Copies of this chain bind each other. A is one copy, B any other.
């Protein structure tokens, strides 16, 4: 395991170097040479640890994604009611999004990179999101806190609304407050707008 740790450590050095470079200069403008010199290795050494540049990029995305999922999981756990869990989920996601968007949301700096693995990462995250929401909803239903006709469709509806929140975050230059809009959306989600 010692040898393997050593290998892992070197991989991490590479990924960390790549991460910073990608964040600064984007995928295209970052060369393997750059990553190598920042990692203090020869370029070919990178190819001992990773198959390709895309492979490194994929790892960076994967790592970022896991970090967000970690944060989300943690904050969901800390919240004690199903409502608070949803609040936590949405707020955590929104706060982290700007950073994550640097990597796998097409529109920010490198536009429309149609990499298959970016699409795949997005898909994976969507699955994670759906599962998280479904869990929370189900817990809420068992609690008696929520009343939902179709859990899956409801989760999808929430996911889509969150997606709508992403949009202004990505195109707007000034980071609009959003705060009150999110509050408003969550309020609708829980209470609806019909009189009762």
Contacts and interface: CB of A to CB of B under 8 A. Distances in A.
Contacts of A183: 153
Contacts of A149: 184, 187
A147 B181 contact: no
A168 B192 CA distance: 24
A115 interface: no
A80 interface: no
Nearest to A183: B153
B154 A164 contact: no
Interface residues of A, number: 40
Number of copies of this protein chain within its complex: 2
B147 A193 contact: yes
Contact of A157 (B111, B188, B190): B188
B193 A189 contact: yes
Interface in A118-140: 137, 140
A163 interface: yes
A194 B147 contact: yes
Given A167-B163, A192-B189, A192-B191, A157 B144 contact: no
Nearest to A168: B160
A154 B192 contact: no
Contacts of A150: 180, 184
5 contacts: A145-B194, A147-B196, A149-B187, A160-B161, A188-B192
